């Protein structure tokens, strides 16, 4: 019991001091944007959007450095279709969003496994992070990924969907309790030993707290959105990686990342949407 209490306190502290971990393939706003375009006729947008980011819950309970218990690690990196277990319009919308995220052929595949339209190349985020490291060799892979992911979110919001940050905020805030019930049914009750209800509930609490802060920053008007995300990035660098970096320097990194992505990010996202739609036919 003491270890469980320590875990809960640790996760609650993390929820107040961190931003989304940069090991995910795309940041949450981009996943939301992709799901919105893959399923434009979906009625329950809030649950669709939340489903599109929910697989990243795995990353908040599967950090080997602190030995967190595993809840979703298999479901993030392995294809899982929740649609056969979904009942009602909200759960079905959530399951659709979840499906767009998978690493086998979904958004994560094209972000960090296979490049768009180029056989044998790495995913878009990995390629761009490598380019960024050429200019900032001491940055580190994970933080370079974070800078690229934030840049894509900013470009999508400011060039395509000004409400993207607000959509993320509302989806994270107003998601249906039925969404978590669906995950509990599949991951706790149907698959004993994979995780437990406490881990699931704690992980989701932490995840939603962190996404809330990120969405609040992204929802700000330009250029305040970039400034706020630079501040969060500086905090993340210290909290997660022990990198002492100022918001001003993170702002420079974001500017460089924006410059690397601005000419082809749209092609990468459109290609990803098209590939997911093809798989769903």
Candidates 103, 80, 107; CA nearest to 183 is 80
The answer to whether the beta carbons of residues 147 and 163 sit under 8 Å apart is no
CB burial string 156-189: b at 16+ within 10 A, e below: bbbeebeebbebbbbbbeebbebbbebbbbbbbe
Candidates 56, 44, 69; CA nearest to 188 is 69
For the full predicted model, state whether its pTM sits above 0.75.
yes
Candidates 163, 166, 132; CA nearest to 148 is 132
Angle at 240 between CA 239 and CA 244, to 5 degrees: 60
The answer to whether the beta carbons of residues 152 and 132 sit under 8 Å apart is no
The answer to whether the beta carbons of residues 34 and 269 sit under 8 Å apart is yes
Burial class, 142, CB count within 10 angstroms (exposed 0-12 / middle 13-18 / buried 19+): middle
**Per-residue pLDDT tens listing for the chain (281 residues):** 333 223 232 333 333 333 334 344 568 999 999 999 999 999 999 999 999 998 876 554 444 343 334 444 444 445 688 999 999 999 999 999 999 998 889 998 888 888 775 555 788 999 999 999 999 887 778 788 889 999 999 999 999 999 999 999 999 999 999 999 998 888 888 766 567 788 788 888 888 888 999 999 999 999 999 999 999 888 877 776 677 889 998 999 999 999 999 999 999 999 999 999 999 98
Rounded-to-integer distance, Cα 210 and Cα 21, Å = 9
Query: What are 12-61's pLDDT values in tens digits?
Result: 333 333 333 434 456 899 999 999 999 999 999 999 999 999 887 655 44
CA distances from 112 to 153, 182, 197, 241 (A): 16, 28, 31, 21
What integer pLDDT is reported at residue 209 of this predicted model?
A: 86
CA distances from 275 to 139, 191, 221, 271 (A): 32, 30, 31, 6
Which bin fits 140, alpha (ψ -120 to 50), beta or left (φ > 0)?
left
Rounded-to-integer distance, Cα 53 and Cα 73, Å = 14
């Amino acid at each position: 019991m003491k270890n469980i209490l320590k875990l809960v306190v640790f996760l609650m502290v993390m929820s107040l001091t961190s931003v989304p971990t940069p090991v995910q393939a795309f940041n949450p706003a981009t996943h939301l944007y992709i799901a919105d375009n893959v399923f434009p006729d979906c009625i329950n947008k809030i649950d669709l959007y939340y489903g599109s980011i929910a697989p990243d819950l795995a990353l908040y309970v599967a950090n080997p450095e602190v030995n967190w218990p595993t809840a979703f690690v298999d479901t993030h990196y392995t294809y899982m279709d929740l649609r056969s277990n979904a009942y009602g319009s909200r759960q079905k919308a959530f399951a659709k969003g979840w499906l767009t995220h998978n690493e086998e052929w979904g958004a994560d595949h094209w972000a960090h496994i296979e490049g768009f339209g180029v056989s044998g190349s790495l995913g878009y985020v990995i390629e761009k992070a490598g380019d960024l490291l050429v200019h900032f060799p001491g940055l580190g892979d994970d933080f370079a990924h974070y800078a690229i992911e934030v840049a894509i979110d900013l470009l999508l919001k400011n060039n395509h969907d000004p409400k993207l940050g607000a959509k993320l905020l509302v989806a994270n805030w107003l998601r249906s309790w039925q969404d978590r019930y669906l995950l509990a049914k599949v991951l706790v009750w149907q698959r004993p030993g994979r995780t437990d209800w406490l881990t699931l509930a704690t992980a989701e609490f932490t995840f939603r707290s962190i996404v809330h802060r990120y969405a609040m920053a992204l929802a700000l008007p330009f250029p305040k959105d970039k400034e706020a995300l630079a501040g969060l990035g500086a905090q993340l660098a210290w909290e997660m990686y022990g990198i002492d970096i100022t918001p001003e320097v993170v702002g420079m990194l974001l500017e460089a990342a924006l410059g690397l992505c601005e000419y082809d990010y749209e092609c990468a996202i459109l290609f990803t949407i098209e590939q997911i739609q093809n798989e769903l036919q």
